[in-house]
Amino acid sequence: MAHDHDHPHEHDHRQGHNQPHRHPARPDQDDTITQWRAMEIAVRELLIDKGILSAEDVRRQVEEMDNRTPLQGARVVARAWTDPEYKKLLLSDGNAACEALGMEGGPYKLVVVENTEQVHNVIVCTLCSCYPRWLLGLPPDWYKSRNYRSRAINEPREVLREFATAVPDQVTVRVHDSTADMRYLVLPKRPAGTEGWSEEKLAALVTRDSMIGVAFAQNP
Partner 1 sequence: MPMAAAEGISPRFRTGDRVAVRAAYPIGHVRTPYYIRGKHGVIERLCGAYGNPEELAYARPGLPKQPLYRVRFLQREVWAAYEGNPADTVDVEVFQHWLEPY
Give the footprint of partner 1 on this chain (CB under 8 A): 109, 111, 126-127, 153-157, 169-182
Can you tell me whether residue 17 is helix, strand or coil?
Answer: coil
Residue 81 or 131 with smaller CB distance to partner 1: 131
| Cβ-Cβ contacts under 8 Å for 94 (sequence gap 6 or more) | 106, 109, 110, 111, 112, 185
**C-alpha distance from residue 207 to each of 69, 90, 91 (Å):** 10, 18, 19
Cβ at position 203, least distance to partner 1 in Å = 27
| Closest by Cα among 126, 167, 164, 131 to 147 | 126
Q: What angle do CA 141, 65, 47 make, to 5 degrees?
A: 110
Residue 96 or 101 with smaller CB distance to partner 1: 96
Can you tell me whether residue 177 is helix, strand or coil?
Answer: strand
Rounded distance between C-alpha atoms, residue 27 and residue 116, angstroms = 49
Sequential DSSP letters for 74-116 = HHHHHHHHH-HHHHHHHHH-HHHHHHHTTS---SSEEEEEE--
Residue 71 or 144 with smaller CB distance to partner 1: 144
Cβ at position 128, least distance to partner 1 in Å = 10
Residue 25 or 180 with smaller CB distance to partner 1: 180
Cβ at position 177, least distance to partner 1 in Å = 5
Residue 98 or 167 with smaller CB distance to partner 1: 167
Cβ at position 22, least distance to partner 1 in Å = 48
Cβ at position 91, least distance to partner 1 in Å = 12
| Closest by Cα among 210, 212, 197 to 220 | 197
How far is C-alpha 71 from the chain's CA centre? 12
Residues serving a catalytic function are: 125, 128-130
